[in-house]
A and B are shown apart, each in its own frame.
Chain A
């Protein structure tokens, strides 16, 4: 039995469809990513999965529990770190852990032991007496993660946990997630960072409440890209940019001195595009097919979804 089973889940607020008939499963010990822009339905889905919001239709089973019927049964088995997590800045690191431990019903020796364990896990033991306000940015995130782990949850739900965190601290945060997953904790994480989404074992792309794709990042890149990506390297990228913008392509983007273009069947247009660039004296060095990035897939799928809903 999977850790999370979502079937035909929908949520309407009046006329507005926030989540539109989505289905997916998350396996035990998996890091499952939910990738989508602001307002795409990520947080609404999380709130339904946590039993905080009743769905309009469909079902959610979390750790074998029917969340719609028994929302109270999962609270103690799930750890939740919200987008705007709250730590008390004028309490020390240890005091914040004690406070959250008590709200999860931990007491006495058990609380003290779990506090030590999570401090060791995140590497904040030396700072236990430091005021939380004095912690550097990335460390606050790690402390917030620690508070969500105190009661040994089987499922960890993280809503954009690393927004505004620099790459090094993000890398360390993810090392912790991999460790937890290896110990059997299931991690459900939302993000709008593409590089973060690539670090998930599997992920779902969501836009306007609709799932666009579900699968391993590599698989999604191989199976869900409508069109091909070509990298253009030339001596005069500004000239090339102007030429390519009128070449009937779905995307023309400048990457430093290179240009990435996207369109259907570009493989068959390589000669034609090269001829156009040479005619404009763009100083063409190379034109080659490259694999799409997750962002390429996401944007192409989103555009398609917008077209489908418009027609």
Chain B
């Protein structure tokens, strides 16, 4: 049975349809990533799963408990870290944790033991007496996560938990999520970072209130039609112009110091053919090789241009 399950969940705000019928089944212990452009409905969906926003229609079960009928019971099963998590800036790290422990009724010896564990777990031990307002961005996120874990939830909902955090803190944050994964916690996380989506077992691509596709990251990347050849060259505008005339060319775009060229899948040896094509146009290149598309490229292929209207 799925730990997070929703059926045909819908929510409007006035005339705007934020979530237009979402079905989701996330297994126990899974790390599931939700990606999608701004306004796709990710945050609204998470808020409904957390029981802080009522859907207009549909059913939601967390660990078998109906969120709409038993919101109190669900709250004890669930840790929820919204995008703007409130920490008390003038309270210390430890005092913030104590505050959340009070809210969730965690007391006595259990509380002492758990707070110590969370401080170590979130790598915040050495900063326990520092006011939360004086923590770095990455440390604030780790404290927010620790606060969301204070009642030992089995399910964790994280809304863009590492947005604006530097790469080192981000990697540390994901190491902590891996620890939770080892303990069997089910994690649903939204992210704007494609490299983070790669860390999830399954990824759902949300667009205009619906989940368009969901699969393992590698399977999503394989959805981009054709094969991808990366051309490393000096004069990329000239290479792009020549490549557009290559038989079997589907699309191309600049990617830093290289051009990603998508060609028909039935070409026998696209690398050799493209190399010959470039030489016949008098163009040189440093390197040319077949590569796998990025998740970002799958994302853009799946939603296409329709998502980028003002």
Contacts and interface: CB of A to CB of B under 8 A. Distances in A.
Contact of B38 (A166, A194, A199, A218): A166
Interface residues of B, number: 50
A238 B182 contact: yes
A194 B254 CA distance: 16
B258 A218 contact: yes
Contacts of B199: 253-256
Contact of A194 (B164, B167, B237, B309): B167
Contacts of A40: 166
Nearest to B230: A218
Interface stretch (A53-61, A134-142, A149-157): A134-142
Interface stretch (B3-11, B107-115, B173-181): B173-181
A163 interface: yes
Nearest to A39: B136
B303 A255 contact: no
A198 B296 CA distance: 13
Contact of B198 (A163, A174, A255, A302): A255
A168 B192 CA distance: 11
Nearest to B171: A299
Contacts of A168: 37, 299-300, 303, 307-308
Contact of A38 (B136, B175, B237): B136
Interface in B223-267: 232, 237, 253-258
A298 B218 CA distance: 24
A264 interface: no
A32 to B, nearest CB: 11
A295 B167 contact: yes
B23 interface: no
Interface residues of A, number: 52
A238 B181 CA distance: 8
A178 to B, nearest CB: 5
B310 A37 contact: no
B257 A218 contact: yes
Interface string A148-190: 0000000000000001111111011011001000100000000
Given A168-B37, A242-B182, A139 B195 contact: no
Given A39-B136, A172-B308, A195-B194, A295 B257 contact: no
Contacts of B299: 167-168
Contacts of A127: 310
Interface of B: 29, 31, 36-39, 136-137, 163-164, 166-169, 171, 174-175, 178, 181-182, 192-195, 198-202, 216-218, 232, 237, 253-258, 287, 294, 296, 299-300, 303, 307-310
Q: Which 10 A-B pairs have the closest CB atoms?
A: A37-B166, A166-B37, A254-B178, A199-B256, A137-B38, A256-B201, A216-B257, A139-B310, A167-B296, A178-B254
Interface of A: 36-40, 124, 126-127, 130, 135-139, 163-169, 171-172, 174-175, 178, 182, 192-195, 198-202, 216-218, 238, 241-242, 253-257, 293, 295, 298-299, 302
22 contacts: A36-B166, A37-B167, A37-B168, A126-B310, A166-B36, A166-B192, A167-B296, A168-B300, A194-B195, A195-B296, A238-B181, A241-B178, A241-B182, A242-B182, A253-B174, A253-B178, A255-B217, A256-B31, A256-B200, A256-B216, A256-B217, A295-B195
Given A167-B299, A257-B201, A299-B171, 8 more contacts: A38-B137, A136-B309, A164-B163, A167-B192, A217-B257, A241-B178, A256-B217, A295-B195
